Structure 1
C-alpha cells in the first residue's frame, strides 16, 4: 500500500471529493455504514480545528485514492479515533473491494495502538481486534414516514397512541406549536446546550459542554453546510419558545442523532419523543434513508427503532511497549463500565447513585449562585 499521512489542512480538494464520493456511493456497494456523517471529511476537519494531533492517512493505488483513515495521535504513538468520546461512528472509508492489513496501516501512520469505541460494521481488519460489540438502534424511513408510523403502530400500539395523544394535548394547551427541522438561529443552539448541560449535571454525568473543545466543535459543525454534509438543529416550539431540540449531523442518506434535550417544564408532553417523530417525518421528506440513534441503552430508542446496527470497541495494536501500557490502563476501565451497563442489577443502583449525586450538585450550584448575587 502507498500510504501518505497528512494534516487536515493539507488534504487536497481532489482527495476530499474522492472521500465524499466513497460515502455517497457506499449504499450501492452494500456498505451503508460508510455513509455515516461522523465518517465524513467535514467532521474530521472540524475536529482538527478544535484538537491537536488530527491526521488523515490516504491510501493510494495506481496514484488514485483507495481509502481514507482519519485518526488522532500523541507524540508517543497512541492513536485514537477522531473525536473519540463524542464520535458515534469510526473507521476507514474506502472504495469497494478494498482490503488492508491493520498493523501495516498503523505502522505507516506511526501508531503503536489505535483505540475505537464506535467502529462501523464491515471493517474486518479492525473488527478482529474488537473487545466488544454493541447495538446502535436506527429508524428506517427510506419507504416514507407513513410506512414507518404504520409499522410503529403495529409494533408498539400503546406507545404510539400515547405519544401522539400527548402531541395533540400539547397543541390544545399551548398556542403556536410548530416544528423547525433546520433551525439556523445560534441562540437556540445555545439553549439546547444549556438544557443538555443541566441534564448531564442532574443525572450525575460529566458535562460534555464543559469541555471547551466539544463546545467549539458543536459550533463549528452547526455552521458546516454542503450538499453532502450539514449540522442540523431541529426544534419543537410551543407558545413562541423552544421546548425540545436536537442537534445532529446529516450526510446524503443518514441523519446521525447526537445531542437531544428538552425543557423539563414540558416533560408531561414527552416533547423529546414528539420531536423525534417530527424529525423522522422531515428527514424522510428530505430523502434520508435512516436516523441513527447511536449506541446506548435508552428506553426511547427501543421504542422508536426499526432495527439495530452493530458497532464495536477495542484496540488495534502492534508489538510495542506503548501499546501494552495503553491497553493495560484502559482495558479495566472499559470492562467495568460495560459490565455495569449490561447488567440491570448493577446499572440501576449505579444510575440512582449518579442521579442522587447530580441533585446534590445542582442544589449546591443554586446555593452558590444565590449567595454570590
Structure 2
C-alpha cells in the first residue's frame, strides 16, 4: 500500500498537471464552492506574502490533494490568507478519505494552527477545539425564491428591507448599484471607513499591516471564469455611500469587507448593498452568498443555514520538541511586537500576541 508523500511549493511553482488536478478537485467537490479555494486566491496571496506555500500530496505518484497555507517564520503554519481567511481546508475530491495531519507530516510542517476549517469535509473535527458557523444565503432557486423563504423565517427583516427601499425612493429618489467599480478611490474609501470603524470599536486594525491592503488590490486585478475580485458600490444622488470589497467563484460570492457612510445610516445603505449583491449572485447563477461567521443579527436574518467551521491545532511532532523550537524562535522576536515583552504579559495579551504574529507573518 502506497503512503502519502508531499512537497511544499509556491503557487507559481505548480506544474500544469497539478493545476489541472486542483481545478478538477474544486469542480467536483461541492464543499469547495468558496473563492478561497480557487487557485487565483492562492496566487494573489503569493504576490503579497513570501511565506505562501501549497502542500502537494501524492499517493503512488498521483496527486491526491492540496493544503494551502502560510508557513510562519517561528516554525509553524497557519491557513492561507492568515487571519483574513474566513474558510479553508484540504482541496481534495469529494470522496477522498484525507487527514490533514498526513499532509502536514509528509511535508515536514510541525504545527498547523487553524481557524474556520470547513466542517463538512473530513479530517478537521478530530483536531478541533471549538466550532463556529458561516451563514450562507441560498440563492440556487433564484432571488425571488430566496426572498419568499426569508419572509417565512425572518418576516421582520424583510419588512424592514422593503421599508428602507420605500424611504430611499421617497427621500432621495432611489439608488444606483454598481458591481465592478474597482477604482483605487473606492478601495481607499472602503479602507478609510473600515479603519475608522475599527478605531471606534477597539477592534484590531487589519489594514495597519501593509500586506492586507496589497492583497485586496491584487484580488481586484484578478478575473477568470472561476474567480473574480469585486468592488461593489451603492450611490445616492451620485455619491457613493456604501462599498463592499469581496470576491466570488463561479459558484459562490464571499461577503468580506463592507463599509458605509454613517451619515446615511437612516436608510441602512450597507444592508441595501448586501441585498443587491445577493440579487446579482442569483442572477449570475451562483448557488449562494457566504456571509462568514459571526454573531450578527443581520447574518442570522438573511442567512438560510450555517456551514460548520472548526478551529484547532494539528501537531505532527511531540509537544515538548515542538514547543522548545517554537519558544526559542519566539524569544528572538518577542520584543518586535507592538505590545512589548511577552514574559510579563497575562494570557489575554498572549492571545493578542498570537494574533499579531499571524498578521505580521511570523
Residue in structure 2 matched with residue 316 of structure 1 by the alignment: 314
Alignment match of 2:24 (pick from 9, 17, 21): 21
Runs (5+) with no aligned partner, structure 2: 331-341, 353-362
Q: TM-score, normalised by structure 1?
A: 0.83
Supply the distance in 2 between the matched residues of 1:180 and 1:334 (Cα, whole angstroms). 42
Supply the distance in 1 between the matched residues of 2:290 and 2:249 (Cα, whole angstroms). 11
Residue in structure 2 matched with residue 341 of structure 1 by the alignment: none
SS of 2:124's partner is helix
Distance 1:113 1:137, change over 3 A: same
Q: Deviations over 1:246-273 (max 9, x none)?
A: 1111111111111011110100001111
Is the CA contact 1:145–1:284 (under 8 Å) kept in the aligned structure 2? Answer: yes
Residue in structure 2 matched with residue 191 of structure 1 by the alignment: 189
* RMSD between superposed Cα atoms in Å: 2.3
Residue in structure 2 matched with residue 180 of structure 1 by the alignment: 178
SS of 1:152's partner is helix
Q: Deviations over 1:283-339 (max 9, x none)?
A: 10011101110011111111111111110101001214364466999xx659989xx
Residue in structure 1 matched with residue 277 of structure 2 by the alignment: 279
Alignment match of 2:132 (pick from 131, 134, 140): 134
1:57 equivalent in alignment to 2:55:
yes
Query: How many corresponding residue pairs?
Result: 330
Residue in structure 2 matched with residue 307 of structure 1 by the alignment: 305
Alignment match of 1:96 (pick from 94, 97, 100): 94
Q: How does 1:236-255 map to 2 (within 5 A)?
A: 236-255=234-253
Q: TM-score, normalised by structure 2?
A: 0.85
Distance 1:96 1:303, change over 3 A: closer
Is the CA contact 2:120–2:308 (under 8 Å) kept in the aligned structure 1? Answer: no
Supply the distance in 1 between the matched residues of 2:78 and 2:151 (Cα, whole angstroms). 41
Residue in structure 1 matched with residue 358 of structure 2 by the alignment: none
Q: How does 1:162-173 map to 2 (within 5 A)?
A: 162-173=160-171
Name the stretch that deviates more: 121-130 or 300-309.
121-130
Shift of 1:132: 0.3
Distance 1:233 1:175, change over 3 A: same
Is the CA contact 2:168–2:174 (under 8 Å) kept in the aligned structure 1? Answer: no
Is the CA contact 2:229–2:246 (under 8 Å) kept in the aligned structure 1? Answer: yes
Residue in structure 1 matched with residue 44 of structure 2 by the alignment: 46
Supply the distance in 2 between the matched residues of 1:112 and 1:200 (Cα, whole angstroms). 34
Q: How does 1:1-373 map to 2 (within 5 A)?
A: 1-27=4-30, 32=31, 34-175=32-173, 177-318=175-316, 319-321=318-320, 323-324=322-323
Shift of 1:65: 2.2
